[in-house]
Amino acid sequence: MAAKFTKNFWERTARIILRNRILILCLIAALTVFLGMQWENMRFSSSQANLLPDHHPVNLKYQEFLEQFGEEGNAIVFAIRDSALFTPENINRWNKFSKQLVAFPEIDFVLSLDNLQELKKDNENQEFELRPLINGKVSTKKEVDSIKNHLFDDLPFYDKLLFNKESSTIRTVANLDKDIVNTTVRKDFILQDLTNLVEDFEEETGLNVHVSGMPYIRTMNSQNIIDEIGKFILAALGVTSLIFFFFFRSFRATLISMCIVIIGVMWAFGILGLLQYEITVLTALIPPLIIVIGIPNCIFLINKYQQEVKKHGNQALSLQRVISKIGNATLMTNMTTASGFATFIITDSQLLKEFGIVASINIIGIFILSLLIIPIIYSFLSLPKTRHLKHLNKKWIDGFVNWMEGIVRHRRITVYTVSLILLITSIIGIYQIEISGSPIEDMPKNAQFFKDIRFFEQEFDGIMPVEIVVDTKRPKGVLKPANLRRMDQLSEVITEIPELSSPISIVNLVKYSKQAFYNGIPKYYQLPTSQENNFIMKVAQNSSGNENLLKNFVDSTGQTARITTFMRDVKTERMEQIEERLLENIDKFFPADRFDVYMTGSALIFLKGTKYLVKNLILSLAFAIFLIAMFMAYLFRSFRMIVISLIPNLLPLVITAGVMGYAGVPIKPSTILVFSIAFGISVDDTIHFLAKYRQELIANKWHIKKSVYAALRETGVSMFYTSIVLFFGFSVFIISSFGGTVALGALVSATLLFAMLANLILLPSLLLSLERTIASKKILKKPQIDILPKKDLDR
């Protein structure tokens, strides 16, 4: 009953499409114009991707920290490692550079040589005061050397904050206005004003300025994403059009297909604008994905049309059959592909939800475009010429099909042996896979901003903030000597960890106060003793201007303090070891009944986010497998067929995971996507093959071997065509400068190639070996839906 309804539905659909050609084309044009108008709503991501849901405890703590101390990732840093800096001309120009930074309204505060303040003791008034390190312009080399020696030898408070004594590197820190850190204003300021300022300085002095800091890194990374979208689209169009033309040898067919996928790309951008989703490193992949996934639809539909024309030469009948016979099959395969992407919607990550929503909508959209445009356009054109149909009889394709049939017919034991060896080897490889929680691992290694990241890691021990917040549970409890000593002990532990920078906190300021109390002698840069504390704290409290220094380290009540350090880019396993060590010492120095201490910061957020995402994506993949298994059950009404159909689709995923282990490719947000995407696409071939096999089985009165070989010959060519297009289509992502995108392209391409071979060799072999188990009318009874109607299975 359902199959008859489906058949009638598609026949009615074919009549509606072919009788309303002009109206449908006008509707497509109107919708394309409407979505084109939504492009103005597109915006590129300005904020750092937070992979954790808003209600996650780690996120809640991070938000609590931001409310207390403000944005922790709003500093842009500039550094010069060159002895030529230490001349009067260049030092003055460097100080001018700092003044120019301060003049920008986007800059909230600048800390540099130009405005560096020394803490001095005013003996007459018994208070501390801040005095500038440099007064006016420097005129002689002797002055420069004096300032340099005084800075490096006498001011340990600023060591690794404004300078690296060992390499003589000088740094300037500029804090962005917190209101623009996560807006497009930041992008415009950094790419235009700031870049021009740095270039002018370098041109005038010949010195190389290294620039970094989280706002700068995010801006340059986002710009790389923007630059790559066009490159991906052009590459995907170029590769798929060349392959398409190679198969069909028809400019007309190639042009029609390219027009369809270009409209699909326009729809993709339009839907992003309509839903007002930001373009991230994931959603930027959708337009080229639509091209790669859309071309197989065109191959199936145009191939069917040409086969029908070659068979009977009746254009009207050929177009009707393209819709009525292939429409349902193409819908089913696009539904499974869309399901693979749609499973991302069930995750708690907003980043993945948006990717899943837009991708699945556009996959269905490209199917509708293909089904409508191809029959309508061909209805206005003359019949294909004989030379356009020659590809249907290519000898090399016959040779490929004969090779597959020979393996299935004579080498099934070899197929199972190789499959088993690959399975065991891959499982061993899976145990070698690591999880990566690095926020900069996927960034383009050849980009200057990435090289600068490495520079700052080398010079200042890291760029990713890690914050430790200490709540003493008492107003003004931070400045109590015992609590200062606890924080100092924890700071010493942080200093001992080579991957972390020297911490900065209220402890450093109190040490600096003691040094100032003893007239700036460096050996007194230490915490006051119990006897000294009362005198020094009394002087500090009488001092004006200290509030600005204190507010960076302590909240307004004096109850809560922060300890800030920066982490190098390290492996996730090492990051977890560092976290564990810090938490152990926090518990040791700060009893839980008297203190409330927690860790937060961008580095920790990304680590936790990656692990959370991996767990969610594994659940997403499991859901995708379950969803498609249920889909197969509905189509074929046989549990055994579900198991048989899943084997050739799960084996390639296991092999790919094994390859990742052996190749050292870690599990991270970009690579975990491979499995859901590849599974959703590769199962299409299984549906095509099993649908044809079932029909051949009925037509050949349950003769297994004859049905399997007939199905292999009928579907092998189209499956080969589409797999090659998908393989080379996803391969275009290898040209990316982002490591994650390269890995995504390479792994999906490899997985789809494995899946093609599994569906064309392993699946038929299983059907032949298990023929007595599955080849009965009871098990393979008529399904709910006729995917490929009898006598018209030419895909």
Four-residue CA torsion sign, 621, 729, 331, 788:
negative
Residues with Cβ within 8 Å of 787's Cβ and at least 6 positions away in sequence, in order, are 328, 329, 332, 635, 687, 691
Length of the chain counted residue by residue = 795
Structure tokens at 764: 């038929």
pLDDT confidence of residue 774: 57
pLDDT confidence of residue 395: 64
CA distance 13 to 15: 5
pLDDT confidence of residue 543: 47
pLDDT confidence of residue 537: 65
Asked whether 673 and 440 are in contact (CB, 8 A), the reply is: no
pLDDT confidence of residue 490: 94
Give the number of other Cβ atoms within 10 Å of residue 522's Cβ. 12
Three-state DSSP state, 472:
coil
Structure tokens at 459: 């010079």
212 DSSP 8-state letter = E
729: amino acid identity, one letter: G
Structure tokens at 174: 């500029």
Nearest residue to 726 (alpha-carbon basis) of 750, 692, 757: 750
Residues with Cβ within 8 Å of 9's Cβ and at least 6 positions away in sequence, in order, are none
CA distance 469 to 481: 18
Structure tokens at 263: 């409209």
pLDDT confidence of residue 7: 62
In which residue ranges of the chain is pLDDT below 50? 543-546, 777-781, 783-795
Residues with Cβ within 8 Å of 722's Cβ and at least 6 positions away in sequence, in order, are 296, 299, 300, 684, 685
Asked whether 253 and 388 are in contact (CB, 8 A), the reply is: yes
Structure tokens at 335: 């539904």
pLDDT confidence of residue 389: 61
CA distance 83 to 206: 12
Look at strands 43-44 and 75-80 and give their pairing: unpaired
188: amino acid identity, one letter: D
Structure tokens at 358: 């837009």
| Measured distance between the N- and C-terminal CA atoms of the chain, rounded to whole angstroms | 25
Residues with Cβ within 8 Å of 718's Cβ and at least 6 positions away in sequence, in order, are 299, 300, 303, 688, 795
Residue 743: alpha-carbon gap to chain centroid: 11
CA distance 703 to 399: 25
Task: Report DSSP letters for 287-340, one per residue.
Answer: HHHHHHHHHHHHHHHHHHHHHHHHHH--HHHHHHHHHHHHHHHHHHHHHHHHHH
Task: Report DSSP letters for 38-63, one per residue.
Answer: GGGG-EE--SPP--S-TTSHHHHHHH
pLDDT confidence of residue 442: 74
Three-state DSSP state, 770:
coil
Structure tokens at 590: 């700060």
Structure tokens at 793: 């299975």
Contacts of 260-263 with C-beta under 8 Å, sequence gap 24+, read: 260/294, 260/298, 260/366, 260/369, 260/370, 260/373, 260/374, 261/237, 261/290, 261/291, 261/294, 261/295, 261/298, 261/366, 262/237, 263/28, 263/32, 263/369, 263/373
Q: What are phi and psi of 478, to 5 degrees?
A: -60, -40
Label residue 90 exposed, middle or buried (CB < 10 Å: 0-12, 13-18, 19+): buried
Nearest residue to 170 (alpha-carbon basis) of 200, 224, 133, 121: 133
Give the number of other Cβ atoms within 10 Å of residue 734's Cβ. 14
Q: Name beta bridge partners: 209.
A: none
Four-residue CA torsion sign, 708, 713, 714, 716:
positive
CA distance 431 to 419: 19
Asked whether 744 and 667 are in contact (CB, 8 A), the reply is: no
- CATH architecture assignment, domain 2-47+220-431+606-774: Up-down Bundle (1.20)
Token match 């052009």: residue? Answer: 234
pLDDT confidence of residue 78: 94
256: amino acid identity, one letter: I
CA distance 504 to 7: 73
Q: Where on the phi/psi map is residue 116: left (φ > 0), alpha (ψ -120 to 50), or beta?
A: beta
pLDDT confidence of residue 64: 85
Structural domain spans, the chain: 2-47+220-431+606-774
Alpha helices (H) in 129-285, listed in sequence order: 141-154, 184-188, 195-205, 214-248, 251-274
Residue 553: alpha-carbon gap to chain centroid: 34
Asked whether 575 and 581 are in contact (CB, 8 A), the reply is: no
Q: What are phi and psi of 564, to 5 degrees?
A: -110, 130
Give the number of other Cβ atoms within 10 Å of residue 123's Cβ. 9
Token match 């499956």: residue? Answer: 719
Tell me the per-residue pLDDT of 110-151, one tens digit each, with 9 for 90 and over.
Answer: 888 888 888 777 777 767 777 888 888 888 999 999 989 988
Helices (H) then strands (E): counts for the chain: 27, 12
Q: What are phi and psi of 123, to 5 degrees?
A: -65, -35
Tell me the per-residue pLDDT of 533-569, one tens digit each, with 9 for 90 and over.
Answer: 766 666 555 544 445 556 778 888 889 999 989 888 8
pLDDT confidence of residue 771: 63
Asked whether 439 and 464 are in contact (CB, 8 A), the reply is: yes
Tell me the per-residue pLDDT of 639-670, one tens digit each, with 9 for 90 and over.
Answer: 777 788 888 888 988 998 898 889 888 877 67
Please report, for residues 534, 536, 616, the alpha-carbon distance to residue 126 in angstroms, rounded to integers and kept in the order given.
13, 10, 60
Q: Name beta bridge partners: 211.
A: 78
Buried b (16+ CB within 10 A) or exposed e, 645-682: bbebbbbbbbbbbbbbbeeebbbbbbbbbbbbbbbbbb
pTM here is 0.76
Structure tokens at 145: 């050397």
